Amino acid sequence: MSLSLLLLLLLLGSAWASLFLGSVLTYYPLHTNEDGSTTMVLRYKLTYDLCSESDVWVCLDDNCGFLSSYALKTVDQNSSAAWCQREGIQTRRFRSNAPFMIEFFGGPWGSNRNGVSYMAALTSVELRKRSDTGRVNSSPQTNVLPELRVPSNCQRDIDLLTFDPDGDEVRCRYGTRAALECVHCTPAPVLSLSSVSTHRGRKQVPRVLLRWSTSCTLSFSSTLPSDEGTYAVQLVMEDVARQPVTVTRDDGAETVLQADAPIGQSAVDFTFIVDPAVESCTEGLYLPRFLPPTPANRARLSAAVDRPLEISIKAEANISTISELLFSGPYNTIKTSSGAGQYTLRWTPSEGDGENQPFCFAVQAVFNSVQFQSELRCVVFNNYYPTDYNPQFNNNYPTNYNQQFNNNYPTNYNQQFNNNYPTNYNPQFNNYYPTNYNQQFNNNYPNYQTNYHVPPCIIPRWQHKRLPVSLSCN
């Protein structure tokens, strides 16, 4: 960790009023604009013990683009209010397609046994055009619940979602301090990042700690009561080309990325709790067991843009009592219950949701005030446009709206929260603001009424080396 970034942590220490518990950082390209610039979405989940924390980012390069839209909204909160997960969506526009790195600082970790005090997560974004796909790279689309738990005498494999839209191989490893991927990087000693061979029945996982795992599976084996407690898990997920790939900059400069070379990277952080031993580890007794029609882990499902969809989840526990469904997905997902152990997740994908969206979920039960959690399951929705899709009726856009480039709006442009622009407004140049422009936060955003958000604190690289003592991100 560089001296300037350590200083940044100290200066921002008072900016966090809550404790960090987990995050997932991903990105994907949205479209190429008429002027040749690229629009990209940085999408991430942040979990704290409160729902009020803002996000702090540090640009480590000169090409972090400029923020064109931003939202930070609540996804889910467990019934005891011990944690609150929110989803951040940053839409960024880039004049140059040079790769860049951006660091997220999450503040102090919640109490844990492996000595992780502060949280930092690095995202490495490759904006150059790939020769194999003809487009900008996407990170692996993954997700995880912010808090996973298992009794100390039960074995469990945590199979993290590793779907890559470009068809790359996905690898996981522990973060390193030298690469600025974490502040305190001690792995959780009760978990092993392992290679997995799948057979009929249970997966066989060797108890050998590896730097890499092509399957991104964490293994927990039964342990001693002395190991019970809470641990911080900090992983780096990288997409790796299966064959040499040429990436090209706007100026024509080409770089060949060899097979097995990382293309981009994102972070996966969560809290792992080892609970007291239970009388039986058999699923369906104390530990909830999933039943049909619950989707299988890593299932790939289809989702039509602007068409509502449902995920039906059912579970049972004969001794404990099922208390809640925990999930992580898009912020506009609606969770409902239709009876004991029966839940539904409803979501309507939109144009800005990209090609894929991951969901993760688990069912939690309780017996004599002790909590038990089912296995983690994750699915990916592949979004598509239905043949009868008409943006005029689905998104309030005029019929001549060009959804591919999303700029150069016609004079009759009409959007629900963006309807006070003059007829000569051109978002391509972003140099003219309507009369409802809100300068309260000096963030170059018009007032989007209820959709308006204070943007994240983003500190450019040049500012790291001469940070003022009074620096804060509020």
393-433 pLDDT per residue, tens: 544 433 333 444 344 434 444 444 444 444 444 444 444 44
Compute the distance between CA of residue 54 and CA of residue 238 in angstroms, rounded to an integer.
26
Give pLDDT, residue 355: 87
Asked whether 448 and 456 are in contact (CB, 8 A), the reply is no
- Which residue in 92, 429, 329, 82 sits closest to 230, CA to CA? 82
**Class of residue 223 by CB neighbours under 10 A (exposed 0-12, middle 13-18, buried 19+):** middle
Give pLDDT, residue 8: 53
Compute the distance between CA of residue 205 and CA of residue 157 in angstroms, rounded to an integer.
8
Homologous superfamily, domain 279-389: Immunoglobulins (2.60.40.10)
Residue by residue, DSSP assigns 53-110 as ---EEEE-SS---EEEEEEEEEEEE-TT-S-EEEEEEEEEEESS---EEEEEEEEEBP
Give pLDDT, residue 44: 97
How much helix, strand and coil, in percent to the nearest 5, is found in the chain?
A: 5, 40, 50
Compute the distance between CA of residue 97 and CA of residue 251 in angstroms, rounded to an integer.
9
Does 293 sit behind a cis peptide bond, omega within 30 degrees of 0 on the bond before it?
yes
Compute the distance between CA of residue 442 and CA of residue 445 in angstroms, rounded to an integer.
8
E strands along 114-244, which residues? 118-125, 129-130, 147-151, 156-159, 169-174, 192-194, 217-220, 229-240
Please give the DSSP secondary-structure letter assigned to residue 446.
Answer: B
Whole-model pTM above 0.75? yes
Residues 6+ apart with CB under 8 A from 358: 141, 142, 143, 161, 163, 329, 378, 379, 380, 381
Radius of gyration of the chain (CA): 23
pLDDT tens digits, 316-354: 999 999 999 999 999 999 999 999 899 999 999 998 898
Asked whether 231 and 220 are in contact (CB, 8 A), the reply is no
Compute the distance between CA of residue 283 and CA of residue 317 in angstroms, rounded to an integer.
8
Portions of the chain given CATH number 2.60.40.10: 279-389
Residues 6+ apart with CB under 8 A from 470: none
Compute the distance between CA of residue 212 and CA of residue 385 in angstroms, rounded to an integer.
37
CA atoms within 13 A on the CB side of 161: 31
pLDDT below 70 — which residues of the chain?
1-16, 195-214, 390-474
Asked whether 24 and 234 are in contact (CB, 8 A), the reply is no
Give pLDDT, residue 455: 56
